[in-house]
Amino acid sequence: MTENLRVAVVTGGSRGIGQVVAERLAADGLAVAIVYASNKEAADATVAAITGNGGRALARSADIGDEAAMSAVFDDVEAEFGGIDVVVNSAGIMHLQPVAELDLAALDRMHRTNIRGAFVVNQQAARRVRTGGAIINFSTSVKKLALPTYAAYAASKGAIDALVPVLAKELRGRDVTVNAVAPGPTATDLFLEGKDEATVTAMANMNPMQRLGTPADIAEVVSFLAGPGRWVNGQTVYVNGGMV
């Protein structure tokens, strides 16, 4: 272990926003552990990108809703890097459907990842993050927009908004901050898939900046909360260009 090495765990760090967050934290000088569900190729590629730029990284596969699996991941990270300073929980799934037609099995799957998984990850983080560290979760701006078909997803992310300020207070005296970022529409492959140009343009124009966010826009805020942003605590920070 390198003396004074800061270490981050990033769930959902193999693709999309989570991948860019992992690479940004590595560029900030942190060793990064990427937790992914199933896409080993993408996770390995992210590790290779980080190490190719002189950083330190590892990847581990785990279901974030499985407390034993996540405890083992955190054990591995501590054994490899000596401790944990930052935990970013960006893993999540989204199922869109009107409430009257909602597939409750899909709701249960989303609950396991977005709510149970968040509590599992935050529980491990609360037990292990070192003094001066940060816990950062992902919420969503769609809660304020109240768009049709988004009720189940928005409700699952509303749980994050409830968790964050409570955990921040529970960690009183530890000098560990707990926050969430709530992105608006962001230009990832997952977001753009299946949307025509008119839909993308309409969503881009929902904010006064008149563009979609980029993963780098979101990663910049995560970097701030993981590093210098020590006086921001217990908050959900909306990162959407002024959309809501």
Catalytic residues: 153
- Whether 225 and 177 have beta carbons less than 8 Å apart is answered as yes
Contacts of 126 (CB under 8 A, 6+ apart): 135, 167, 170, 171, 176
Q: In what order do the strands lie in the sheet with 177-183?
A: 57-61, 31-36, 7-11, 86-89, 134-138, 177-183, 236-239
Cα 180 to Cα 7: distance, rounded to the nearest angstrom:
19
Do 64 and 36 form a contact (C-beta atoms < 8 A)? Answer: no
Angular region, 129: left φ>0, alpha ψ -120 to 50, beta rest: beta
Rounded to 10 degrees, the C-alpha dihedral 90/192/15/224 comes to -50
- Per DSSP, which regions of 120-228 are E strands? 134-138, 177-183
